[in-house]
Amino acid sequence: MKEIMGVHTYREISEQPQALKEAYEEALRRKEWAETYLGDAEVQQTLFLGSGSSYYQAITMAATYRSWLKRPATALPSSDLLLIREQVVLEQSRTVAIGVSRSGESTEVVKALDSVKELPDWRLAGVTCYAESSMAKLGDSLVSKLGAEKSTVMTKSLASMIVGMQTAIALVSDRSGEHLQELDQLVQAQEERVREGEQLAQAAVSARNFDRTVFLGMGAMFGIAEEGCLKLKEMSNTWTESFGTLEFRHGPKSIVDQHTCVIVLVSDRSREAELKVAREMQDYGAYVVVAASAAGEDTAFADAFVETGLVGGSDEARAVAALPFLQYYGYFTALKRGNNPDEPRNLTQVVLI
Amino acid sequence: MKEIMGVHTYREISEQPQALKEAYEEALRRKEWAETYLGDAEVQQTLFLGSGSSYYQAITMAATYRSWLKRPATALPSSDLLLIREQVVLEQSRTVAIGVSRSGESTEVVKALDSVKELPDWRLAGVTCYAESSMAKLGDSLVSKLGAEKSTVMTKSLASMIVGMQTAIALVSDRSGEHLQELDQLVQAQEERVREGEQLAQAAVSARNFDRTVFLGMGAMFGIAEEGCLKLKEMSNTWTESFGTLEFRHGPKSIVDQHTCVIVLVSDRSREAELKVAREMQDYGAYVVVAASAAGEDTAFADAFVETGLVGGSDEARAVAALPFLQYYGYFTALKRGNNPDEPRNLTQVVLI
């Protein structure tokens, strides 16, 4: 039984190194796209719009944009722009709105972009896996063609769209050479991340019978923590939550006990403070997984350690390195519970309204 | 036993009408504060900073600011500004950073404000319940003095700090008269919201044995949904989640079944789309609570209905009207499970690092 469940998801996770490489190279070929939609210093408001996993990608993309370009960017659920525009954006500002959608057919992002296309100072763009999609017709789009998937849950599509967008951001940043180099390193290392991620996830899932798993991270890593949380929720229907790492201490930590797995995606910038939170959760009885650039004495306490690499590099470029472990963690939890990872309950591949 | 558990929380929820009234009147007396920190059109970046419940307040405050003032505002966890500044803000922009903290002593917000106080174009401000606190010494602060509480969990403090800030925002908006009038109405009606909220929450909690509760809302209401979620989590340690209403359809809804309570805080702007989500969750077997300005044929399907009032008014001013029901929902769930609402597991009143 287990042999035939989740074949698409399993294969697609393992295919991400090639998808990342192609997305990186495609973005390099589309330098004029980066200059037009990301490199215009006159733009006052840049929006990354998505739903579900695509919103979580948008969070990581917007954090990268702010950090590398020193200009404002906002990640928004597409439905916010579509339905409550006044509360979330400034209509009068010179704006680039970038839709994020695997299929390019998700009703909300297509309708959201369509709803602002007549605004005088707004330009539309996108990132998708399908060049011929409705979204790509509304706004010139970056394409990750090897990101296309059979499974309902997004894995390599998500990782590769983030890397494609980060490469485009790197192209127009002041530290272009440095960021492109670290993204190239990330892409090269993802094969190893996939191999290690599978083993570590299998070990973590069988370590205890968790009845809840919490994913923590900050900034660019927060988008990845949210995504890890959603992968597990979709595939296994278990209790999963995600929070900013230090935010978790302000109330939510009341749920932690010995049946809890806490996965902390540590940023180099905030390593000391985040590891302190991780240790506190272990004191409450949790099984603690630490993902960080490199192991050290300060991570020896962790029940499991996931290396994200790029030592000396940026937290933004490192974010995608944590994904294979998180995706496999969801996958193996689903199998352990007898769920089919390819076909989550209540869900479909493209969400239409 | 039940008679003596949670006395502080219970009393403090019921005291919110007076706390709201005082916060509203105090903000009216501090018009120069509003003009200085909210009314300066030269400011490029306005930040609302908090942790836990105070971050959720910040979300509602920032949504109100954007909608009523048509200028950019961002809600951030204090720890983001403190630890990963490059990813979240623009150092070079003319900025007002407003700390949000009941005690004014939460380490993260105090350290976060302290970390930016030397930046040339930055000014600091705050909103708190304690005029003499460390935060109030760092930045001129609005004070909700009747918001001060004995319970670890925030109830009237949160509601009143939001109303104080919204009143200050209203004072400097183009539609000042209109927004002040609706806030005045909100304050008057909160007594009724408290009375109804208690009855409705008690009924909902005893309707079924839920093993999970989901809180949905958008924009200003999303901050309130997050807060309702945290109240329940802190007081009862049960499985609770919150999402943007339409976001919930993109994956997370896979957890919904007949043991799930889904509470939807409907905005007038997006009523039709949000009620459609609510009906879908009922189709999956969930018990559905709808909170909206007024009941109608379109809400007849709901298992319970919570009136938020202010018909014809704005969704921003209406946000706080949903709080009493949510706070009592957490309170009665805690009692049902034998937990003491005043003393959540693992938590303290002020979070120090």
pLDDT computed for residue B2 by the predictor: 43
Burial B210-223 (b: 16+ CB within 10 A, else e): bebbbbbbbbbbbb
Average pLDDT over residues A279-299: 97
ipTM for this prediction: 0.94
Portion 24-43 of B in contact with A at CB < 8 A: none
Written as one string, the DSSP assignment of A245-259 is TTGGGTTGGGG-STT
Whether A152 and chain B come into contact, CB under 8 Å, resolves to no
CA distances from A147 to A68, A265, A320 (A): 25, 24, 14
Fold of B7-174: Rossmann fold (3.40.50)
Q: Are A149 and A11 in contact (CB under 8 A)?
A: no
Nearest to B324 by CA among B129, B94, B109, B159: B159
Q: Are A79 and B250 in contact (CB under 8 A)?
A: no
Q: How many angstroms from the chain centroid is the CA of residue B259?
A: 26
Nearest to B321 by CA among B232, B192, B211: B192
Helix (H, G, I), strand (E, B) or coil at B295: coil
**Residue to substitute from A48, A78, A83, A260, interface B, most B β-carbons within 10 A:** A83
Task: Say yes or no for a CB contact (<8 Å) between A72 and B45.
Answer: yes
| CA atoms of A151 and A148, how far apart (whole Å) | 9
How many other C-beta atoms lie within 10 A of the C-beta of residue A177? Answer: 10
Q: Are A203 and A175 in contact (CB under 8 A)?
A: no
Q: Are A208 and A287 in contact (CB under 8 A)?
A: yes
pLDDT-derived band at A4 (thresholds 50, 70, 90) equals low
| CA atoms of B153 and B341, how far apart (whole Å) | 8
How many other C-beta atoms lie within 10 A of the C-beta of residue A211? Answer: 13
Q: How far is B238 from chain A (nearest CA, A)?
A: 7
Question: Which residues in A lie closer than 8 A to residue B77 (C-beta atoms)?
Answer: 244, 246-247
Whether B88 and chain A come into contact, CB under 8 Å, resolves to yes
Q: How far is B297 from chain A (nearest CA, A)?
A: 21
| CA atoms of B104 and A170, how far apart (whole Å) | 40
| CA atoms of A101 and A109, how far apart (whole Å) | 7
**Residue to substitute from B250, B267, B269, interface A, most A β-carbons within 10 A:** B250
Question: Which residues in B lie closer than 8 A to residue A48 (C-beta atoms)?
Answer: none
How many other C-beta atoms lie within 10 A of the C-beta of residue A324? Answer: 28
Question: Where does chain B hold its CATH 3.40.50.10490 domain(s)?
Answer: 7-174, 191-336
Collect all residues with Cβ–Cβ distance below 8 Å to B174 and sequence separation of at least 6.
Answer: none
| CA atoms of A343 and B11, how far apart (whole Å) | 47
Whether A260 and chain B come into contact, CB under 8 Å, resolves to no
Q: How far is A132 from chain B (nearest CA, A)?
A: 22
H/E element, A317: helix A315-318
- Residue whose pair of structure tokens reads 């916010």 in the numeric block: A80
Burial class (CB in 10 A: 0-12, 13-18, 19+), A181: middle
Q: How many angstroms from the chain centroid is the CA of residue A253?
A: 23
Q: Which two tokens stand for residue B103?
A: 């005690």
Q: Which two tokens stand for residue A274?
A: 């985040």
pLDDT-derived band at A254 (thresholds 50, 70, 90) equals confident
Q: Are A177 and A3 in contact (CB under 8 A)?
A: no
**B191-336: CATH number:** 3.40.50.10490
Over the stretch A195-211, which tens digit does the pLDDT of each residue have?
999 999 999 999 999 99
| CA atoms of A340 and B256, how far apart (whole Å) | 17
Portion 96-115 of B in contact with A at CB < 8 A: 108
Question: Which residues in A lie closer than 8 A to residue B48 (C-beta atoms)?
Answer: none
**Residue to substitute from A211, A246, A343, interface B, most B β-carbons within 10 A:** A246
Question: Which residues in B lie closer than 8 A to residue A247 (C-beta atoms)?
Answer: 51-52, 55, 77, 79
| CA atoms of B146 and B161, how far apart (whole Å) | 10
Whether B342 and chain A come into contact, CB under 8 Å, resolves to no
The pLDDT of residue A2 is above 60: no
- Residue whose pair of structure tokens reads 């991780």 in the numeric block: A278
| CA atoms of B19 and A83, how far apart (whole Å) | 32
Q: What does pLDDT average to over chain A?
A: 95
Q: Which residues of chain B have pLDDT under 70?
A: 1-4, 353
H/E element, A142: strand A140-143
- Nearest by CB: A88 against B66, B71, B273: B66
CA distances from A255 to A182, A214, B233, B235, B346 (A): 38, 10, 7, 10, 8
pLDDT-derived band at A352 (thresholds 50, 70, 90) equals confident
Collect all residues with Cβ–Cβ distance below 8 Å to A283 and sequence separation of at least 6.
Answer: none
Nearest to B240 by CA among B250, B254, B251, B255: B255
Task: Say yes or no for a CB contact (<8 Å) between A79 and B345.
Answer: no
Over the stretch A10-65, which tens digit does the pLDDT of each residue have?
999 999 999 999 999 999 999 999 999 999 999 999 999 999 999 999 999 999 99
Whether B2 and chain A come into contact, CB under 8 Å, resolves to no
DSSP H helical ranges for A84-219 = 85-88, 107-116, 134-138, 156-171, 176-207
Does the CA dihedral A2-A5-A7-A10 come out positive or negative? negative
According to DSSP, the residues that pair with A292 across neighbouring strands are A307
Nearest to A65 by CA among A173, A149, A159: A173
- Residue whose pair of structure tokens reads 């969930």 in the numeric block: B286
DSSP H helical ranges for B121-219 = 134-138, 156-171, 176-207
Does the CA dihedral B25-B29-B30-B34 come out positive or negative? positive
Over the stretch A132-147, which tens digit does the pLDDT of each residue have?
999 999 999 999 999 9
- Nearest by CB: A87 against B87, B220, B346: B220
CA distances from B15 to A61, B190, B193, B231 (A): 43, 10, 12, 17
Does the CA dihedral A244-B125-B347-B330 come out positive or negative? negative
Average pLDDT over residues A161-168: 98
Task: Say yes or no for a CB contact (<8 Å) between B84 and A270.
Answer: yes
Under DSSP, the state recorded for A139 is S
- Nearest by CB: B254 against A233, A269, A276: A233
- Residue whose pair of structure tokens reads 């272990």 in the numeric block: A282
According to DSSP, the residues that pair with A100 across neighbouring strands are A127
Q: Which two tokens stand for residue B118?
A: 């030397």
- Percent of chain A at pLDDT above 70? 99
Question: Which residues in B lie closer than 8 A to residue A55 (C-beta atoms)?
Answer: 247, 250
Burial class (CB in 10 A: 0-12, 13-18, 19+), A328: buried
- Residue whose pair of structure tokens reads 């034998």 in the numeric block: B338
Whether B259 and chain A come into contact, CB under 8 Å, resolves to no
Pick the residue from chain B with its C-alpha nearest to A92.
B70
Question: Which residues in B lie closer than 8 A to residue A279 (C-beta atoms)?
Answer: none
Task: Say yes or no for a CB contact (<8 Å) between B51 and A246.
Answer: yes
Instruction: Give CA angle at B210 (A353, B203), nearest 5°.
Output: 100
- Nearest by CB: B63 against A87, A250, A351: A87
pLDDT computed for residue B1 by the predictor: 41
According to DSSP, the residues that pair with B96 across neighbouring strands are B46, B123
Nearest to A332 by CA among A242, A225, A238, A192: A238
Q: Are B157 and B56 in contact (CB under 8 A)?
A: no
Written as one string, the DSSP assignment of B81-149 is HHH-HHHH--TTS-EEEEEEESSS--HHHHHHHHHHTTSTTEEEEEEES-TTSHHHHHSEEEE-GGG--
Q: How far is B86 from chain A (nearest CA, A)?
A: 5
